[in-house]
Structure 1
């Protein structure tokens, strides 16, 4: 399995490099894309307009522009998204989805579009703990998480005791609900990648901070229906956006400029 996984990743890299020179034209094809609108700053609802916005919206809309395709944006909860894409209800899905072997056995992944690490987000006035070890040592402290996510599994296996039913983990239907529980004092920490942590701290000045060091590194990718003919074109577009600085410009817009204006 490991060899197959490595070979698959190598094939993706070769396909990306080959496709970067000349992007295919999809002739105005409509692609159904799905997200959750609950993972700031990757995808969330603009309070002013009620529309979905964020890094992933901008990135995929740009991919569509470069490939000459139209995007039909749809919404889905996180717990049904991977299965729905697998079954072909949607063509492509995105929600800060970590590329893992288990998920890659169910759906196709694009080339990685972002690399991030897991951190501990806490209230700004938190003094009871300052890293994963001191958090785990205090049985009164709680972590808020969304089931089935990388954040959940890191909490279970990297911080706590490996018991997925540990009562110290409080589960929420959406990632945003877990962050709100942290803000209101119902839980003491929420794990998230540095990307999303910057977004929440920017949107809530003075409310949160990060403690401890990184708990792991993860790569995000778009998910596609197995065997999708969109994978290679999307990979080529991702590579072109990395090469011409578009990805870095999106990082600046959503992780730095957004923080300063919210």
Structure 2
């Protein structure tokens, strides 16, 4: 009888193990948390639109996420080196980037903008002649300044490139540069919180996408499906209303 009960217990345990749900896979999401309202630090934690969006996609698709804050120009190298799995950092989809990573369908549209110090009297004219401009390294704002101002000779002053917009904005406030070129929604957030003013919008027609390593079709499919479900459920509208 005891032997029979032992065998029954073993069978029951085996059945329990076989039907127990497997642990959800965890993906490391790389971001650059100086880009409010998309990603920024609040009370020591990475928060923002992209963070909440990734959490919503993860919940929809049954996986977990953890976030890693690194410099923007290290995101794609980190993705290709395998130290991160996903980039969620307000990253613009470009032909050059699409050669080395795979992007999801777009989830946000934006332009570039110019910030100047409040009370400085500076205008759009700081993009011409002997003025000093700041950008974040590796961003489309950086590329726009290089292609349209530096290479053409329109801007003859110095362009300072920072790892984060936090440092660029602080340099502007300190009076070390005359303007900062950055994405419009981020410029608006800084203008609402810091002594800086948005004086121009530069129409570039950019679209943001999430990025994965080139050829990772399985993860790309999960993210695209998650984006579709987040939009269909109304969660995307909820996040847009919360952050913009």
TM-score range, shorter chain: 0.7 to 0.9
Q: Per residue, is there more strand in 1 or in 2?
A: 2
Q: CA deviation at 1:82?
A: 0.3
TM-score by length of 1: 0.78
**Whose Rg is larger?**
2
What are the ranges of 5 or more consecutive residues in structure 2 without an aligned counterpart? Answer: 1-21
User: What residue in structure 2 maps to residue 127 of structure 1?
Assistant: 121
User: What residue in structure 2 maps to residue 231 of structure 1?
Assistant: 220
Say yes or no: does 1:211 pair with 2:207: no
What are the ranges of 5 or more consecutive residues in structure 1 without an aligned counterpart? Answer: 1-25, 256-262
Q: CA deviation at 1:214?
A: 2.4
Structure-2 change in CA distance of 1:110 and 1:215 (3 Å)? same
SS for the counterpart of 1:112 is coil
SS for the counterpart of 1:212 is strand
**In structure 2, C-alpha distance between the alignment counterparts of 1:39 and 1:171, rounded to whole Å:** 15
Pairwise CA RMSD = 2.0
**In structure 1, C-alpha distance between the alignment counterparts of 2:189 and 2:229, rounded to whole Å:** 25
Pairing partner for 2:82 from 68, 88, 98: 88
Structure-2 change in CA distance of 1:76 and 1:106 (3 Å)? same
Pairing partner for 1:104 from 73, 98, 102: 98
CA displacement 1:43-88 (0-9 Å, x = unmatched)? 1110xx2111111111101110111111122222222210110222
Moved over 3 A (4+): 159-163
Kindly indicate whether the alpha-carbon contact (under 8 Å) linking 1:122 and 1:210 is maintained by their aligned counterparts in 2: yes
Kindly indicate whether the alpha-carbon contact (under 8 Å) linking 2:85 and 2:213 is maintained by their aligned counterparts in 1: yes
TM-score by length of 2: 0.83
Say yes or no: does 1:62 pair with 2:23: no
Kindly indicate whether the alpha-carbon contact (under 8 Å) linking 2:111 and 2:201 is maintained by their aligned counterparts in 1: no
Q: CA deviation at 1:198?
A: 2.0
